């Protein structure tokens, strides 16, 4: 059996099906996975529609059979998706002519979809160029950390949570390729939300609409169109768009040592550092991103406790005066800025 993981809502068509014209597919939900049951699709379909599953069932049910009502169902353009317990039934009601008409429409709107994606990327670059790169990355890191709170498994993450991760890696990629425009503007909540909405819309377009219209265009314009090859390309592109890495960070260092070690002489010649120094620098960056936030919280708590001890030591505490004194203390201000 084949596990389906990549499309949202635990619903996707089988890799072996083409256009789902007048057909039905069965999917079995197991935990956070969706497993296609190709061998049993016909039997399950008959059972869900009131038919027979096995010879035993046929003998047991000699009378009129009742169709099983779905637990949940909804209709979309040309099809129906229904859930029966752990099973998901996806049906298409389009005729071949309707499917051809739909694909022709997708071919027509392909230039518009690509243009909208390009325009959105330009708007994202224009927004990012207005703000301090460090402020953008800092805001993105803390937003991503907040979205991860309380989640123990990948299937608990919503699409919005996934975009929070893109607000770090994708925004960083745009920062590297986009020179800032002076003077830099203040990064407000409204400007951050506007940037988030643009990135979210971009990834929504790249997740499904682009691949639908692009596949229709390739099918219409390439005489030797290969559905299996196109399916492989779509999966590879979606993997590159969404998956953030190839391995857990703890395994990176051993891989880098094996991969870069033979090129130590070239590193020294080109960058005047050894491979081990380069890897140690990456370790430092990783530690800063993954661990320093915990240390910063501890430092902030320590500063709070110091202020409370000063307040307790006063016989007649003047809270506004104490707060002003703390704000004016240059060493404390510098320390708080380094923490934040």
Both 285 and 237 in one domain: the answer is: no
Please, which residues have CB within 8 angstroms of residue 302's CB and are 6 or more apart in sequence? none
Lowest mean pLDDT among 25-34, 51-60, 90-99, 122-131: 25-34
- For residues 329 and 27, give the distance between their C-alpha atoms in angstroms, rounded to a whole number: 64
- Do 233 and 277 fall within a single domain? no
Q: What is the pLDDT of residues 295-339, one digit of tens each?
A: 666 677 777 787 778 777 777 767 777 777 777 777 777 766 665
> Do residues 120 and 233 both lie within one domain?
yes
**Sign of torsion over alpha carbons 196, 202, 207, 208:** positive
Instruction: Please check whether residues 197 and 104 belong to one and the same domain.
Output: yes
**For the segment 33-83, what is each residue's pLDDT rounded down to a tens digit?**
444 444 445 555 555 555 444 555 555 555 556 667 888 888 876 788 888
Q: Is 106 a domain residue?
A: yes
Coil vs helix vs strand at 31: coil
Clarify whether residues 169 and 147 are in a common domain: yes
CA–CA dist 223, 225 (Å, integer): 6
Q: Are residues 82 and 112 in the same domain?
A: no
Show the domain range for 298: 254-339
Domain boundary among 46, 75, 94: 94
- Tell whether 263 is covered by a domain: yes
Inside any domain, residue 170: yes
Please tell me the pTM assigned to this model.
Answer: 0.58
What is the count of structural domains for the chain?
Answer: 3
pLDDT digits (tens, 9 = 90+) for 209-230: 999 999 999 999 999 999 999 9
Q: Which of 185, 211, 242 is the last residue of a domain?
A: 242
Domain-embedded: residue 248: no
Q: How far apart are CA 217 and CA 169, in angstroms?
A: 30
Q: Are residues 229 and 300 in the same domain?
A: no
Same domain flag for 206 and 321: no
Last residue of a domain, one of 79, 94, 109: 94
Adjacency order of strands within the sheet including 33-36: 2-4, 33-36, 24-30, 87-92, 79-84, 72-76
Q: Is residue 175 part of a domain?
A: yes
């Amino acid at each position: 059996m084949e596990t389906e993981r990549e499309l949202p809502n635990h619903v996707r068509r089988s890799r072996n099906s083409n256009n789902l014209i007048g057909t039905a597919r069965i999917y079995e939900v197991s935990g956070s996975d969706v497993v296609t049951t190709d061998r049993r699709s016909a039997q399950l379909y008959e059972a869900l529609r009131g038919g027979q599953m096995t010879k035993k069932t046929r003998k047991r049910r000699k009378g009129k059979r009742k169709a099983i009502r779905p637990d949940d169902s909804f209709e979309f353009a040309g099809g129906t998706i229904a859930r029966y317990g752990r099973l998901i039934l996806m049906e298409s009601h389009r005729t071949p002519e309707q499917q051809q008409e739909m694909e022709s429409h997708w071919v027509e709107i392909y230039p518009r979809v690509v243009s909208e994606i390009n325009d959105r990327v330009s708007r994202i670059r224009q927004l990012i160029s207005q703000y301090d790169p460090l402020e953008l990355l800092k805001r993105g890191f803390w937003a991503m950390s907040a979205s991860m709170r309380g989640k123990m498994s990948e299937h608990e993450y919503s699409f919005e949570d996934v975009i929070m991760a893109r607000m770090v890696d994708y925004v960083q990629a745009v920062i590297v390729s986009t020179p800032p425009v002076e003077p830099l503007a203040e990064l407000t909540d409204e400007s951050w939300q506007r940037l988030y909405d643009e990135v979210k819309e971009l990834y929504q377009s790249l997740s499904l609409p682009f691949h639908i219209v692009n596949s229709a265009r390739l099918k219409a314009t390439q005489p030797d169109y290969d559905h299996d090859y196109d399916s492989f390309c779509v999966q590879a592109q979606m993997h590159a768009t969404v998956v953030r890495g190839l391995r857990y960070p703890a395994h990176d260092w051993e891989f880098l040592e094996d991969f870069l070690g033979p090129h130590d002489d070239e590193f020294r010649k080109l960058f005047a550092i050894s491979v081990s120094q380069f890897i140690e620098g990456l370790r430092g960056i990783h530690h800063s991103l993954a661990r320093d936030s915990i240390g910063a919280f501890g430092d902030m708590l320590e500063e709070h406790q110091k202020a409370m001890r000063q307040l307790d030591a006063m016989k007649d505490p003047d809270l506004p005066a104490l707060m002003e004194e703390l704000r004016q203390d240059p060493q404390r201000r510098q320390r708080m800025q380094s923490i934040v």
